[in-house]
Amino acid sequence: MVAIPVTISPARSRPAHPAPDGGIGDPLIDTHGRVHRDLRISLTDRCSLRCTYCMPEQGNEWLARTSILTLDEIERVARIAAADGVSTFRLTGGEPLLRRDLPEVVERLAALRGPDGPVQIAMTTNGIGLRAALPALIEAGLSRLNISLDTLRRERFHDLTRRDRLDDVLDGIDAAAASGLRPLKINAVAMRGVNDDEMVDLVAFALAHDAQLRFIEQMPLDAGHTWDRQRMVTRDEILAALAQRWHLTPVPGRGGAPAERFLLDGGPASVGVIASVTAPFCGACDRLRLTADGQLRNCLFSTTEYDLLPVLRGPAPGDDAIDRMLRSCVHGKLPGHAINDPSFLQPARGMNAIGG
């Protein structure tokens, strides 16, 4: 098989790894033995909120509309990834609900099959506009939902997101809770002096909505590069706060899941903690990311991107070219993100442009 050249953005690159052996239908295995089964697809870098840990309030430089992947391009990449064993596709942003053809994206992807059968389609959203969109998304084949909610307090929500939209988010969560989509997860970024006094309240709110609360350590992924480790609430601090209210029992068999789960008072309800900074789980990571403008990323914190646009829009070399790009991206994956190494460099893109 002929190797297809890998195009890497020079502004955030390291030398490209040679494309490994393998072809369409072979699993995506990196040099550390990790099999990749999860592709996170960002549909847009735009969002209806301006969360302080993610985006500036003003002056955002949006991706050119001409660079945003089309429905056909997304489906093509996903079809090849599914053939290679990717079994879960998570739709992210920005805010995916801002993408007008979202139901068609879900429908096309939900129709895909991999070596082990039909794929699953998940979505991470801020919930604004979810009630109106949910029936069409469920009919199209949406399997699971994660909804972001960092606070239950109106003024605090406005300060965090720079928008007065708490009622809209809560309405979206109500609609999701009334649907048949399970498991339903609510994501909260824990921040010192901001919402660390609400952790028990947030878990109780999730339980009342038959949802699992997942706390996320704040990560260096803000567009303004203002992340401060001292403001991050750690995994151990989160667990200590929750232990004041519930007895926590670790759930075994985490696998490649980003969240470490704990039963509350013996279960069945549980809470999750995603501790990317203080307790990295890179050794079991099975995730790849595709940005809205066609860049493949093998790590959320990677400074390297593999540019699919020339393959998708240039003289069509066939599906093998996309497959080889996927394999090159996987082959170049490092053992871990090195956040705790002095040499760590924060990605140039903010979270809204990378995709969650």
7-49 confidence digits (pLDDT tens) = 334 333 333 444 567 899 999 999 999 999 999 999 998 988 8
- The CA distance from 53 to 50, in Å, is 9
Q: Name beta bridge partners: 335.
A: none
Q: What is the DSSP string of 301-329?
A: T-S--EE-HHHHHSS---HHHHHHHHHHH
Rg (CA), the chain: 20
pLDDT reported for residue 346: 60
Lowest mean pLDDT across 106-120, 232-246, 289-303: 289-303
Which token pair is 190?
Answer: 């824990």
Peptide bond into 94 cis (omega under 30): yes
Burial of 193 (0-12, 13-18, 19+ CB in 10 A): exposed
Q: pLDDT tier at 302 (50, 70, 90 boundaries)?
A: confident
C-alpha torsion 96→310→354→273, nearest 10: 90
Model confidence pLDDT, tens digit, residues 206-216: 999 999 999 99
Please enumerate in sequence order all residues whose Cβ is within 8 A of that of 342, keeping only pairs 6 or more positions apart, or say none: none
Q: Give me the helices (H) in 141-198, please.
A: 154-161, 166-178
Q: Percentage of residues in the chain with pLDDT exceeding 90?
A: 69
- The CA distance from 118 to 111, in Å, is 7
Which token pair is 281?
Answer: 């789980």
Residue 195 has pLDDT above 90, yes or no: yes
Model confidence pLDDT, tens digit, residues 307-355: 999 999 988 668 999 999 999 999 999 887 666 555 555 656 666 667 6
SS3 218: coil
Average pLDDT over residues 272-286: 89
Q: What is the mean pLDDT of the chain?
A: 88
CA-based max dimension of the chain: 61
Lowest mean pLDDT across 126-130, 190-194, 237-241: 190-194
- The CA distance from 84 to 65, in Å, is 29
Average pLDDT over residues 181-209: 96
Buried b (16+ CB within 10 A) or exposed e, 299-324: bbbbbbbbbbeebbeeeeeebebbbb
pLDDT reported for residue 340: 59
- The CA distance from 233 to 202, in Å, is 15
> Can you give the pTM of this predicted structure?
0.88
Closest C-alpha among 143, 139, 86, 146 to residue 120: 143
Model confidence pLDDT, tens digit, residues 162-185: 999 999 999 999 999 999 899 999
SS3 20: coil
Q: Which residue has the tokens 């893109």?
A: 349
Length reported for the chain: 356
The one-letter code for the residue type at 293 is D
166 CB neighbour count, 10 Å cutoff? 20
